[in-house]
Amino acid sequence: MTDDETRPIRARMAPSPTGPLHIGTARTSLYNYLFARHVGGTYVLRIEDTDLARGTVENEQDIIDNLHWLGITWDEGPQVAGGEDIGPFGPYRQSHRWELYAAEAAKLLEDGSAYHCWCTPEELDEVRRQQERNHEPPRYNGRCLRLTNADLAQFEAEGRKPAIRFRVPPEKVTFDDLVRGEVEFDNALLGDFVIVRAGGVPLYHFVVVVDDEKMNITHVIRGEDHLSNTPKHIALIRALGYREPRFGHIPLILNADRSKMSKRKSQTAMTAYREQGYLPEAMVNFLAFLGWSPGTEEEIFSLDELAGRFELGQVHKAGAVFDQDRLDHLNGVYIRSLTDEQLALRIRPFLPDALDDSAVLRVVPLIKERLVRLSDAPELVAFLHEPDEAVIAGYLPEELNAKGKSAAETAIALDAAAQLVQELDDADFSADVLEARSRAAAEQLGWKPGDFFKPIRVAVTGRSVSPPLFSSMELLGRDRVLARIGAAHAKVAGGGSLA
């Protein structure tokens, strides 16, 4: 009945495909993964798809893809949605294990640990409402425990199908939680709960217990929201004569208002973060520190380093707010740690085809330290591939003016800029030369360099905030720079021509 400590360690993650991979599920999966890898145990993926109404294969695909994206791998389980299972304890999808659950439920029925319940959802609702009115705890009233043969005959005549309800032994249950220590519950306060629906579909509390036993799971690490479900599971484990695994309940990830992180108040789908250009390394690092720390002041860790350091004993008990500012910061750190070649590869999918691979590689150094997310890249490089007309149409004439400068003065500056560009042949058209000439021109004009660069920046990139100006000009090429400066001049001078 109790866990024999000599069993080889096996941990698992058990996502439900009722939605795409949730941040919280990802973090729980990560902790399980880190735990299993740290102790050299086996890591299992089991798909909890008993909710036929809400589960989809698309979600299963999303979960598997995003787990892989994070770099999390498992030793047993489906590697691809709908694909072959790997491992000796399969199938690893609950929807493929129904005979097993039926057999286990039959055992419970046989020895009286469970019984048929003929109550309809409407009847149960009514009872619950009644209990609420009387300020009683909302739990099953045990009606079907005391059925007469006549009742039974009538239900059958009505064509009702029974659910199977587990008879919870009214006893105190204690367990030693891996993160919280000794926890005690009184199961006398629990109502008997349904383990198999009318119609034969088994429910979560039951299948999770059956599968953890049959898959030889020794360590159940899950969110704190399951803490008060654990005594139910232990009661089931005992009734079925199973071995009791160790339980560890990790703190919840919270919305800004400290409630359990939800779709309603936060972005919870991992895919969304991925699409916004968060790096999996940053996400993993960030998630790991939501409820755990190595006990030092170090904070940048790869997945492998995390696995080397991770201890369940260092996991916190209190929930942690998901702080996107911190994620953003970490993402920037990871982006900047990439080589230009690596970053070019990662950014490629975020950029339009109009930019070829070599152009991407050339802009990367200009935007690297300006990126928070990869999806920031298109805006930063837009000046490169946007048609000149679009760039020119993108700003108002007065945006060209440096602070305190009039349109007339701006026209003069633009004029000087056009001239200096014209004087350069293609071979000389480099950032260094451009900068030297521009500074000289500014001095000649008696302008501060920054003031002189402002109209050029807007003219050339269409924006007052851009990557470094002269490198941008070099990338753009002499002709396009000239065209854009000319157009800007026309705009500010109301159609007047360049000198």
- 7 vs 478, beta carbon nearer RNA: 478
- DSSP class of residue 62 equals H
Of 74-133, binders to RNA (CB under 7 A) are 117-121, 124, 128
- Judged by CB under 7 A, the stretch of 64-72, 80-88, 417-425, 450-458 that binds RNA is 450-458
274, two tokens: 């991925």
- In the complex, what is the shortest distance from the CB of residue 99 to RNA, in angstroms, rounded to a whole number? 17
- In the complex, what is the shortest distance from the CB of residue 494 to RNA, in angstroms, rounded to a whole number? 26
Helices and strands, counts by H and E, the chain: 20, 13
Q: Does 229 bind RNA (CB under 7 A)?
A: yes
In the annotation, is 263 catalytic?
A: yes
Of 254-293, binders to RNA (CB under 7 A) are 254, 257-260, 289-293
Beta strands (DSSP E) in 120-254 are 163-166, 172-177, 181-186, 193-196, 219-223, 246-250, 253-254
Q: Does 474 bind RNA (CB under 7 A)?
A: no
Of 323-382, binders to RNA (CB under 7 A) are 323, 325-326, 328-329, 332-333, 336, 369-370
151, two tokens: 């009742």
- In the complex, what is the shortest distance from the CB of residue 300 to RNA, in angstroms, rounded to a whole number? 9
- 357 vs 448, beta carbon nearer RNA: 448
What is the H or E stretch that residue 77 is in? strand 77-78
- Judged by CB under 7 A, the stretch of 4-12, 151-159, 181-189, 344-352 that binds RNA is 181-189
Candidates 263, 265, 317, 454; catalytic one: 263
Cα-atom radius of gyration of the chain, to the nearest Å? 32
Site for RNA (CB under 7 A): how many residues? 92
- 263 vs 499, beta carbon nearer RNA: 263
d(CA 24, CA 145): 39
Beta-carbon count within 10 A of 250 CB: 29
d(CA 60, CA 48): 10
Q: Does 193 bind RNA (CB under 7 A)?
A: yes
- In the complex, what is the shortest distance from the CB of residue 329 to RNA, in angstroms, rounded to a whole number? 4
- 226 vs 274, beta carbon nearer RNA: 226
- 204 vs 490, beta carbon nearer RNA: 204
What is the H or E stretch that residue 13 is in? strand 10-13
d(CA 294, CA 289): 9
Query: Which whole-number Å values give the CA distances from 299 to 29, 251, 334, 489, in the listed order?
Result: 20, 20, 12, 51
Active site residues: 263
